[in-house]
Structure 1
Amino acid sequence: MLKIEIPKRAAHCMHGNEPLIPEMEFYSILLFQEEGYQRKDFCLACWEKFAKEDFSTRAKTAWKAKVVSKKEKEEISFKTRDEKAFYLLKNLLQSPSEEEWAEAFILALYLARRKIIYLRQELPQEDGSVVAIYEVAATEEMWAVKRKPLSSSDIEALQVKIAEKLSR
C-alpha cells in the first residue's frame, strides 16, 4: 500500500520568515528523509536569492503556487456530483487497495479537470510507478495519487463503477 504524507503549506517563508499571505506566490519543495517527506516553502525573493540553488539538487520535487485567498475559498462551490467525487476520492486515499488506486486515479483526473484539485508534480518511484501530487484548491492540502496505466475496457468498467457510487 502506498501512503505518502505531505505536510500542509507553512504560514511563513522557511528562510526569511516572511508571512505567506493570500494572493502571494511562493515555491514549495519536498525533501525525502527517513521519517517521510519534509516540505519547505519559500517566498519568491528567498527562493531566487538563497533556496533555488541550495535545494534544487536535494529536492525530490518543487513547484510554484499561490496562496489562496479567503474569497477564492468561498467561491469554490462544489456541485453535488463534484462534492461526492471529492469525498469519494478522499475516502479512497485513506487506505486504498490496488484495485481502488485505479478509481482514485480516475477521480483525481476528473477533479483536476473541474479545478477542485491541482496537479502540482509527478514523482517517479523506485518501482517504476508514478505518483501524482495534487493540491486541494480550497484547503491547500496535498494528496498523493498513484498513476495507473489503464486500457479502454478498464476505463469503461471504472466509469460505470464510479458513476454508481456517485449516484448513491
Structure 2
Amino acid sequence: MAGDTAYSIRKRAPQCAACERPFEDGDTVDTRLFRGAEGYERRDYCPQCAPAPDASDPFSHWKTVFHPPPPPEPEPVRRESAESLLRRLIEEEEAGAEAAIFVLAIMLERKKLLVEKAVREEEGRKLRCYEHRKTGESFVVEDPELRLAELEHVQEDVVRRLEGDGERGEQGQSRESVKPET
C-alpha cells in the first residue's frame, strides 16, 4: 500500500470550492480530501455549500476555522559578508577603518578562510600577512594592537558595517563612523 501512496501537501483554498466566495478570518471551513487519479485532492467549502457527510465518499473530512495566511515576510536587507566587507574596505582605503579591517581578518582567520603566513615589523607598525585559503590571494593587514577597552567599539562598528549601516550612500559619500564616547 505504501508504494502507491502519493504523498503531497495541499494548501487551504482562499475561497469556497462550490460558490467561490472568499473565506474571511474566523469563518468555519469544511474540508474534504478525495483520492484522485494523480493523488489527493483537497476541497474547502463554506458551511452553506458543504456536501452532506456521506456524499461522494471523501477519504477524510474535518472542520476548521479559516485564518488568512500571514503576509510574506519582507526580503531581508542583504547583509554584506565579512569577506566582501574586508575586500571593500581594503580597496576603498577608507580612513579610520584599520581596526575594522583587522577584526574582519581575524574573523576570517578563525573561519579558516584566511591563513596567517607572516608577521612583520615595518616603520613601527606590525603587519600581518594572510593568504586566502581558496584563491591564494595575499592580504596585508596592519595590526592596530587594540586594547580591550577599544575592542567593543570596533566590534560594534564591524557589526554595523556587516548589517549594511556603514555602506556608502547613493551619492557615493561615506557615512560617518561611530566614534567612541569620551
With the shorter chain as reference, the TM-score category is 0.3 to 0.5
User: Whose Rg is larger?
Assistant: 2
Which has more helix, going by share of residues? 1
Bigger relative CO (Cα 8 Å, ≥ 6 apart): 1
